[in-house]
Structure 1
Amino acid sequence: MHRRTFMTSLVALGVASKPLFAQTQPAAAPVAATPAAPATAAAPVKPVAAPKKSWPIAPQFYPTEVAVKPELAVGSIIVVSDKFFLYHIIAPGKAMRYGVAVGKTELQFRGQATVARKVEWPSWKPTPEMVKRNPSHYAKYAETGMPGGPGNPLGPRAMYLFQNGHDTGIRIHGTIEPSSIGHAVSNGCLRMENEHVIELYKTVDIGTPVTVY
């Protein structure tokens, strides 16, 4: 997509002038007050241990229902790369927001695409460009690739993005590095925490439009 055409589409959606999405954040979990020690207690009260996190990602990247502009098409996916958020529009004015990892600055995908393929436990093969950029890491997978499974970098689910019937090479997929969520680290694909991508996969249909800003 030409830059002029893409920027025109941004203005039409209102991205250039005002945000598409309400700046909501997950509510902080209430913290129970530690009871004061009796005046006669000899030993200090031990601090309560912090609860363990389910995933090693920041709280704002957990799945959250947020308010969005009501004119956004229900069912569509919108990614705001510089905020590391993926929005799945679930009803007029409502979206589920997920955290994602995006491509490194020089590899970030921008534009419009369509989910043309969905795969459970996808196999993976590096692109020729990936092998050229980092042969020591990717060359061993260049011919045969890697079968799907828990150690596969695409994780348990992948949604393949096409433009005009052609594979862009970009996927929305899981990851074996959940701590990368919220960072620009990938070779262009959009990574999600594995449980999150399974949840999204269940609700996304073939033909779903995807816009990446």
Structure 2
Amino acid sequence: MKRRDLIAGGTALALFGSGQAMAQAVATSSIRPDFLPVEVPIRPEIAPGEIHVLPDSFMLFWTLPGARAMRYMVGVGRPGLYESGEFYVGAKKEWPSWTPTPDMIERNPAAYKQYEDGMPGGPDNPLGARALYLFEPGRGDTYLRIHGTNAPSTIATAVSNGCARLVNDQAIDLYNRVPLKARVVLHPKTI
């Protein structure tokens, strides 16, 4: 059995725990208290210094030494747009600019055509305050991101065009923890 298969689906949730908090919350605005980041125990075989996204439970884990992880609640890609796999952080940007992909424009020209030449970074930008750009060896930039949002109502929903989103202040906290080249696993959806 490959490592990816071992931690896929329901097994992944068992490895990372139920998400019930033993921990210290990071201050955040406009978010439900149960959506605050918390430090949680995880199984010891999970390496530190990795991001794991469990889309069925809307959880992102930044793994720490000592079988611990910071757990963040996220929004994920809506049905048909979520892409599971193994990636690495190929770039990090503060207040990133944003350009919708051609597929996004084709799916919803009323929403995205006006931004085909891009949108500068700032509070109204869909990528929010910070973004981690997911790359794959041999493919380069996948156009998948882990990024901020100023729309807390989208956390714990499948609403995005494939990216994982955190509220802006939590995206800043994660951004400050994660180095370039960190491994990222977007686990498969099982439901």
Q: Same fold (TM over 0.5)?
A: yes
Greater strand share, 1 or 2? Answer: 2
Correspondences of 1:122-201 after superposition (within 5 Å) = 122-142=96-116, 144-165=117-138, 166-201=140-175
CA contact (8 A) 2:28 2:36 kept: no
Correspondences of 1:1-213 after superposition (within 5 Å) = 8-13=2-7, 17=11, 19-26=14-21, 55-142=29-116, 144-165=117-138, 166-213=140-187
Read off the aligned partner of 2:180 and give its amino acid letter: I
SS in 2 for 1:82: coil
Instruction: Return the offset for 1:154.
Output: 0.5
- Root-mean-square deviation (Å): 2.0
Query: Normalising by structure 2, what TM-score?
Result: 0.88
Distance 1:199 1:123 in 2: 19
SS in 2 for 1:153: coil
Instruction: Return the offset for 1:177.
Output: 1.2
SS in 2 for 1:124: coil
Structure 1's unaligned 5+ residue stretches are 1-6, 28-52
Query: Normalising by structure 1, what TM-score?
Result: 0.79
Instruction: Return the offset for 1:150.
Output: 1.0
SS in 2 for 1:137: helix
Read off the aligned partner of 2:124 and give its amino acid letter: G
Larger Rg: 1
CA contact (8 A) 2:61 2:70 kept: yes
Instruction: Return the offset for 1:10.
Output: 3.5
Distance 1:14 1:107 in 2: 18
1:77-101 CA-to-partner distances (Å, cap 9, x unmatched) read 1110000000000112100000000
Read off the aligned partner of 2:15 and give its amino acid letter: L
Instruction: Return the offset for 1:109.
Output: 1.5
CA contact (8 A) 1:14 1:20 kept: no
1:171-200 CA-to-partner distances (Å, cap 9, x unmatched) read 000012111000000000010010001001
Give aligned pairs, total: 181
Structure with the bigger RCO (C-alpha within 8 Å, sep 6+) is: 2
Distance 2:177 2:11 in 1: 30
Distance 1:63 1:174 in 2: 14
Distance 1:83 1:169 in 2: 23
